[in-house]
Amino acid sequence: MGFHFKREERFKTEKTGILVRLFSGEGKVVSVYPKAFNIRHQDGLLVSLVEDATQMSALSLHVPSFFRSRKAETEAGAPAWFEKGRLLLNGFCIDFAASDLWESGPAWERVPGFLPSRISILEEALLLRGRRGGLLGLIHSSAEQNPFVDRASQALRRILNKARKDSSIEDLSQLVGLGPGLTPSGDDFIAGVLLGEEILSVLAASPKGARSMAQQAIIPLKVNKRDMWECLSRTNDAGKTLLFQTLQGHFPCYLIEAAKGVGGAEKLEEMADAVGRAVSHGETSGTDALVGFLFYLKATANHQRRQ
């Protein structure tokens, strides 16, 4: 691509998303913000460069020095190139070969005390703090309804009916690419479902969590991911990027923090604070993800009661 850079034009990342190191080849800057910008890789996934570590994901580079530098500038349309642990961009080199990996999957210590017994308080907090405009209408009858809520509601009824027979959640691919938003609401919802499955699986695999879950007869419902992998082309680049990560058990920082908040909340006020922080992400992305998270927890709890 003919990129040239000087040694003093290198910037080292402080943290690197675990999936970024898999990338090589061409990319292009597609959006620029004061504290972040996105590069579309040639395979259609977005890699983000961020100043703030709270914006991290498995496809992000935390490189605050780049944003602090007066020399470093970029604009939408600028070409980029990934190779051997570095990103070449506008004559600059972002070096991520030796940086620490950012952990993007919830570990036991990140979800202390989390159990589905907190479903009712989570739902109440989401009703209080959730943002309207996406899929909040799935749990909030007075929320502004839209055609996407109707479509999602019909699909989820079919999914729940099938789950009663199969003891698994199938056909979530019906929601891929559904709805408004930079990231479609359906994709955010799916991310929340997958977060719920991942957390209960993590708890079941830990000695402390397994003992507590056994006392409440909790068995995580398996989510069929294969059909969603096959449907990624239905959504936009942002949705594809989110699902590419979450289908592999990697979640953005804000959702991991939401899980920590939900797991540690004992009272409604504490839960509402945790939910409030999560729903501030995007226009409705945080809300839609928590609606999916709640859906999974309720489906699991209801399945256990029928056993």
Give residue 84's pLDDT: 87
Instruction: For residues 171 and 179, give the distance between their C-alpha atoms in angstroms, rounded to a whole number.
Output: 17
Domain ranges of the chain: 7-102, 108-306
Instruction: For residues 192 and 246, give the distance between their C-alpha atoms in angstroms, rounded to a whole number.
Output: 9
Rounded to 5 degrees, what are φ and ψ at 160?
Answer: -70, -40
Give residue 119's pLDDT: 87
Residue 213 confidence class, pLDDT cut points 50, 70, 90: low
Given a cut of 80, whether residue 7 has pLDDT beyond it is: no
Given a cut of 90, whether residue 192 has pLDDT beyond it is: yes
Q: What percent of the chain has pLDDT over 90?
A: 64
Contacts of 170 (CB under 8 A, 6+ apart): 159, 162, 163, 224, 227
Q: What is the mean pLDDT of residues 61-87?
A: 89
For domain 7-102, the question of CATH label 2.40.50 is answered with yes
Overall pTM > 0.75: yes
Instruction: For residues 42 and 167, give the distance between their C-alpha atoms in angstroms, rounded to a whole number.
Output: 38
- Alpha-carbon dihedral sign for residues 252, 245, 46, 94: positive
Question: What would the pLDDT profile of 242-277 be if each residue is shown by its tens digit?
Answer: 999 999 999 999 999 988 888 888 889 999 999 999
Give residue 77's pLDDT: 93
Given a cut of 80, whether residue 104 has pLDDT beyond it is: no
Q: What is the mean pLDDT of residues 80-103?
A: 91
Give residue 226's pLDDT: 94
Given a cut of 80, whether residue 219 has pLDDT beyond it is: no
Does residue 225 contact residue 273 with C-beta atoms inside 8 Å?
Answer: no
Does residue 204 contact residue 152 with C-beta atoms inside 8 Å?
Answer: no
Rounded to 5 degrees, what are φ and ψ at 179?
Answer: 100, 180
Residue 215 confidence class, pLDDT cut points 50, 70, 90: very low
Give residue 115's pLDDT: 64
Give residue 201's pLDDT: 84
Look up residue 225 and give its two tokens: 């991911």
Given a cut of 80, whether residue 189 has pLDDT beyond it is: yes
Give residue 6's pLDDT: 46
